[in-house]
């Protein structure tokens, strides 16, 4: 089996039975605050590019699509998120300031489509609810296949007064089927204040 992996330092992989490659997304080199994340960031990655590296192996057989509401943010409120997994280059922490993927709204998606004879491996990503405004949010994270069946899920209650619940490494460690497509969904179920823009991934 060939699998390809994408990681949100996000980690995504693809490879054969005992071998997989991994593209790591870090969100550097894409612009300043509120710059829209390119819809094809890290899609079919064969060489390093702005915001990602293929140092663990290229993933040219995995197409990635980000919804148009994702953007970049560099606020120091995201420093703990940036520092959780540091990539060590401008592709991740350009200028030694946070460069993260910000969730502006209550619903965001990332889609993955594997070529025939290849499979998605979704390794891990870091997710934060900043302490800029005190409060608690609840998120439902799901990964669904092309038939809309849920193949992985996790519910998170993120109280930003408690770092152990507000900064989380989410590790699906999911390996998909050959040639299958998947949709990773972030859906906010509740909030105790207007929390748009107070969450990010890296």
Containing structural domain, residue 47: 2-201
What lies within 8 Å, CB to CB, of 160 at 6+ separation is 129, 130, 131, 133, 134, 135, 136, 166, 198
Show the low-confidence residues of the chain (pLDDT under 50).
1, 7-9, 16-18
Please compute Rg for the chain using Cα positions.
16
Residues 174, 181: Cα–Cα separation, whole Å: 13
pLDDT score of 9: 45
Residues 144, 46: Cα–Cα separation, whole Å: 26
pLDDT score of 17: 42
Residues 38, 49: Cα–Cα separation, whole Å: 12
pLDDT score of 2: 56
pLDDT score of 4: 52
- Structural domains in the chain (count): 1
Quick one: tokens of 30? Answer: 């894409």
pLDDT score of 86: 73
Query: DSSP state, 156?
Result: E
pLDDT score of 11: 54
């Amino acid at each position: 089996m060939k699998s390809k992996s994408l990681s949100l330092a996000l980690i995504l992989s693809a490879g054969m039975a005992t071998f997989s490659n991994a593209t790591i997304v870090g969100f550097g080199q894409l612009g300043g605050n509120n710059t829209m994340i390119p819809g094809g960031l890290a899609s079919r990655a064969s060489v390093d590019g702005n915001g990602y590296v293929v140092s663990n192996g290229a993933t040219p057989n995995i197409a990635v699509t980000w919804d148009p509401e994702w953007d970049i943010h560099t606020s120091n409120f995201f420093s703990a998120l940036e520092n959780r997994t540091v990539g060590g280059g401008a592709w991740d922490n350009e200028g030694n300031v946070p460069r993260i993927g910000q969730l502006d709204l209550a619903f965001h998606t990332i889609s993955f489509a594997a070529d025939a004879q290849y499979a998605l491996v979704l390794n891990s990503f870091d997710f934060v609810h900043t302490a800029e405004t005190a409060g608690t949010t609840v998120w439902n994270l799901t990964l669904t296949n092309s038939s809309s069946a849920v193949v992985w899920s996790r519910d998170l209650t993120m109280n930003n007064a408690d770092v152990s619940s507000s900064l989380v490494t989410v590790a699906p460690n999911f390996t998909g089927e050959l040639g299958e497509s998947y949709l990773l969904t972030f859906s906010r179920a509740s909030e105790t204040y207007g929390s748009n823009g107070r969450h990010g991934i890296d």
